[in-house]
Amino acid sequence: MSIRLTITTILTAGLLLTALPAMAHHSKALQFDMTGEISVEGTIVELEWRNPHAWLNIEVVNEAGEPELWRIEFSSANSLIRRGWRPADLPVGAMLKVHGLPSRDGSRTVDGEEVTLADGRSLLAGSNVEGY
């Protein structure tokens, strides 16, 4: 793991913890493993810019060299807009890293908490620090 990614992860995790108390939503623990963490890296196949959750479908090459489709769940498109995300930042074909929580049912689904774009920019998901 590069130094830049490590720092990004630390910064992100800190901001996430401070943002958590503002969340007003159903429990993530229904769907995701709150004790785990996962990072995946791949190419955007599709962006679903929707409510109640925005989704990124990304193609990840596994250790066997095979492509796998992973689905990343984010908070609502409304909350992402208010956090400064724009669909133009997430075009099909773009490479990115996603950090978040693994699913409880073992499927290739991640609760996306942070996205790092190819140019190094970091996008934070979840209800924003204003708690909308």
Partner 1 sequence: MTNMNRIGLGIATLLILALTSLAGIAQEYSPPRTSDGHPDLQGVWQALNTAVWDIQDHSASYGVPAGQGIVVGNHIPYQPWALEQREENYNNRLTEDSEANCKMVGVPRITYMPYPFQIFQTADQVVMTYEWVHSIRNIFLKGEHLPGPIEWYMGDSRGHWDGDTLVVDVMHFTGETWLDRSGNFHSPSLHLVERYTRTGPDHMLYEVTIDDSEVYTEPWQISMPLYRRMESDIRVLEYECYSLAEASTQVQ
Partner 2 sequence: MQINVPYISGRLAAVAYLVLLSNFALAQYWVTDSTCPDDNHAAFHACAIEAAKTFEPALTADGQPDMSGIWRRRGTAHENIHAHPPTPDDGGGPSFIVAPASGITPIQDWAEAKRRQNRPEYVHQNAICRLSGVPLTMYMTGTMQFMQNADHFLVQGEEAHAFRVIPVDDREHIGEGISLWNGDSVGRWQGNRLVIDTTNQSAEAWLDQRGRFFTDEAHVEESFTLVDANTIHYQATITDPNVYTQPFTVALAYRRSTAEGFEVWEEACHENNAVAAEQFEGLGYKVYPGMTGDESRRLSAAWDLEQAELEAELEEAEQ
| CA angle, residues 70, 76, 78, in degrees to nearest 5 | 135
Q: What is the 3-state secondary structure (H, E, C) of 33-91?
A: CCCCCEEEEEEEEEEECCCCCCEEEEEEECCCCCEEEEEEECCCHHHHHHCCCCHHHCC
Binder among 4, 36, 46, 67 for partner 2 (CB under 8 A): 36
3 binds, among partner 2, partner 1, none (CB under 5 to 8 A by kind): none
| x-marked contacts with partner 2 along 54-93 as a string, rule CB under 8 A | -x----xxxx-------x-x--x-x---------------
Q: Which is nearer to partner 1, 14 or 87 (CB)?
A: 87
- Give residues in contact with partner 1 (CB under 8 A): 49-50, 77, 87
